[in-house]
Chains A and B, each alone.
Chain A
Amino acid sequence: MRERVIRWVLLLMALGVLVTLGLIAFFIFQSGAGLIVRVGLGDFLGGTVWAPTADPPQFGILPMIIGSIWLTAGALVIGVPLGIAVAVFQVELAPAWLSAILRPTIQLLAGIPSVIYGFIGLTLLAPLVRSTLGGPGLSILTGAIVLGVMILPSVIAVSEDALRAVPASIRDGAYALGATHWQMISGVLLPTARSGIVAGVILGMGRALGETMAVIMMVGNALTLPLSPLESATTLTSNIALELAYASGAHREALFATGVVLFCMIMLLNAVATMLVRQRAFSRRTTS
């Protein structure tokens, strides 16, 4: 009897995750989807003017979408090569002592609050960008560099797992054919671990797309269509955070509608990443 109760309680707890996800989706959609319908999906996603308090108000989030895409792409350009290189280093090259330093380093990089990252971008990097490359300094470039560092831990962790999962026999085969260490890494190890690495990149992409406070501090929050990485921009996330505190009525709805768009993008990325990881686990199980 007691066992049966415990089993049910634990089951309910396990369902809590799904309930939470459902509640989040429901309340965000309920608070924002109406506005998307009223404005029209095309005008909402494709409109270039965001003037929520004007008369009549205009709700176009294209500048934020473009800003988010610029920043996320920039973060990937910086973070992915660096992340994969560090993952390869950890698995193939690192002497034990250096590996022992790198592991907590990566853990700490993941633990540092995003506001600290944003602050470093704001006080150190932005002035540097302004004085060397011109522009306002608080720009896409500044944000992308810092975001690139912020996504490193996700990219490294997942890539490292993928690299370590490559069977020794495959490496030995490459060596037996006379490959150098680097030829083995570039020709065999990385291609074999590809889907896992891609999953890591997608997770990093989600991180970059969803980052908020650091981005607010670094990108200048300009509601214009950014044309170069040296310009200021705003993103889906930062616009929500900046305006939610004082928004009301249709304005608030529009912010939740922005949340709906963000939520859909993130869920799509998550689904793809999960699928890739699962596929890998599956193919490993069937081949070994």
Chain B
Amino acid sequence: MAYSQQTARGDYAVQRVAFGCIWVAAIVTIAVLVLIIGVILGRGLPSVSWEFLVGSPQDMGRAGGIFSTIVGTVVVGVLALLIAAPLGVGTAIYLTEYTVESRLTRAVRFGTESLAGVPSIIFGLFGFIFFVTYLGLGWSVLAGSLTLALMVLPTIIRVAEESIRTVPRGYRDVSYSLGATRWQMVTTAVLPSALPGIVTGIILAFGRAVSETAVVIFTAGTALNLPTSLLAPTRTMAVHFYILAVEGISLPNAYATGAVLILTILLINVGANALLHRLTRQRTRR
């Protein structure tokens, strides 16, 4: 009677309780997301109109729209990616195609991991002292983009490296057998095949740039007018939302801006997932 039916029943009772808790955790996680999105969209969407999207903010954002902050967000985000994407993809190509595991690659990988863990406020401090003050760019689109670019760099490197690694060995062999140089092999065989994955990474990085506040506020500034040059200050949607909410300027407009921000993030994630989905379908068909 080492293991009676009774203890077995007890074991299954314990299992039921444990699994019950785990199910609750999973459902709570989904519920939290639904709650957050529901509250922001529910309270914000009614005030979002065409006029709100294309109107200039008036009276510090109490009235009018958010057009200049949308422009600011897009300009800062796109410029950040134009800087970070080549750098990140180049790094990934070097790590996967041009070198073997060595002390150098380990150092670069450790650097990437560390950079990914550096909190945004540290990037904010750095951008402020280096780009804004030391290089004299001032609070500007350029300073904001440069700092953001460094912040999203690890994301792009990681995703690009992963997608390049999933490119089948045979692609490379065929390319070489046709007499391609290494770079020709990379540009004609590896990159086209890894592209959807890389683009997914870039889209997700754009999402991070859009949602960032602590970095942008100290490098791009908080000016509400339309940025006229790369050296002009600007205000992104996330910063606008933060200022409206924290300084108690206008709660309805904060909700509306938040709704636009959430919709943007939703769109970015859906887009990235759709791309990734297409990629995996392509792969399995081959």
Contact = CB atoms under 8 A, between A and B. Distances in A.
Interface of A: 2-3, 6-7, 9-11, 13-18, 20-21, 23-24, 27-28, 31, 81-82, 85-86, 88-90, 93-94, 98, 101-102, 104-109, 111-120, 122, 124, 149, 152, 178, 180-183, 185-186, 203, 206, 209-213, 216-217, 237, 240-241, 244-245, 255-256, 259, 262-263, 266-267, 269-271, 273-274
B26 A98 contact: yes
Interface string B19-54: 101110110111011011101100000000000000
B22 A85 contact: yes
A49 to B, nearest CB: 23
Contact of B265 (A6, A93, A108, A216): A108
Contacts of B273: 104, 107
B129 interface: yes
Given A2-B183, A3-B183, A102-B30, A119 B213 contact: no
Contacts of A20: 111, 115, 150, 153
Contacts of A210: 117-122
B46 to A, nearest CB: 16
A186 B36 contact: no
Interface centre among A7, A88, A89, A186, by most chain B C-beta atoms within 10 angstroms, is A89
B113 interface: yes
7 contacts: A13-B86, A14-B95, A17-B154, A102-B26, A108-B33, A111-B204, A119-B254
A68 B273 CA distance: 35
B211 A7 contact: no
A263 B123 CA distance: 10
B226 interface: no
B284 interface: no
A16 B268 contact: no
Contact of B36 (A82, A107, A112): A112
B218 A245 contact: yes
A102 B258 CA distance: 23
A115 B117 contact: no
A208 B254 CA distance: 25
Given A117-B36, A216-B246, A86 B111 contact: no
A176 B253 CA distance: 61
Interface stretch (B10-18, B59-67, B169-177): B10-18
Contact of B26 (A13, A86, A114, A203): A86
B241 A119 contact: yes
B125 A259 contact: yes
B225 interface: no
A18 B154 CA distance: 11
Interface size class of B (residues with CB under 8 A): 35 or more
A89 B11 CA distance: 19
A266 B36 contact: no
A28 B125 CA distance: 7
A237 B265 contact: no
Nearest to A124: B39
A81 B182 CA distance: 48
Nearest 8 pairs between A and B by C-beta? A210-B119, A113-B211, A85-B25, A13-B90, A182-B15, A10-B94, A17-B111, A270-B117
Contacts of A6: 182-183
A14 B122 contact: no
Nearest to B264: A113
A116 B40 contact: yes
A180 B15 contact: yes
Contact of A88 (B22, B37, B39): B22
Given A104-B269, A116-B262, A21 B25 contact: no
B182 to A, nearest CB: 6
Nearest to A119: B245
Interface centre among A28, A178, A213, by most chain B C-beta atoms within 10 angstroms, is A213
Given A115-B213, A152-B29, A244-B218, A120 B122 contact: no
B91 A16 contact: yes
Interface centre among A7, A10, A122, A211, by most chain B C-beta atoms within 10 angstroms, is A10
Interface centre among B111, B238, B258, by most chain A C-beta atoms within 10 angstroms, is B111
Contacts of A86: 22, 25-26, 29
Contacts of B269: 104, 107-108, 111
Contact of B25 (A3, A82, A119): A82
Interface string B177-209: 000011100000000000000000000100110
B278 to A, nearest CB: 16
Given A113-B265, A180-B11, 20 more contacts: A2-B183, A10-B90, A11-B98, A13-B90, A14-B91, A28-B122, A86-B26, A93-B23, A104-B273, A105-B29, A119-B245, A122-B245, A149-B32, A152-B29, A178-B3, A182-B14, A203-B117, A210-B118, A213-B242, A240-B121
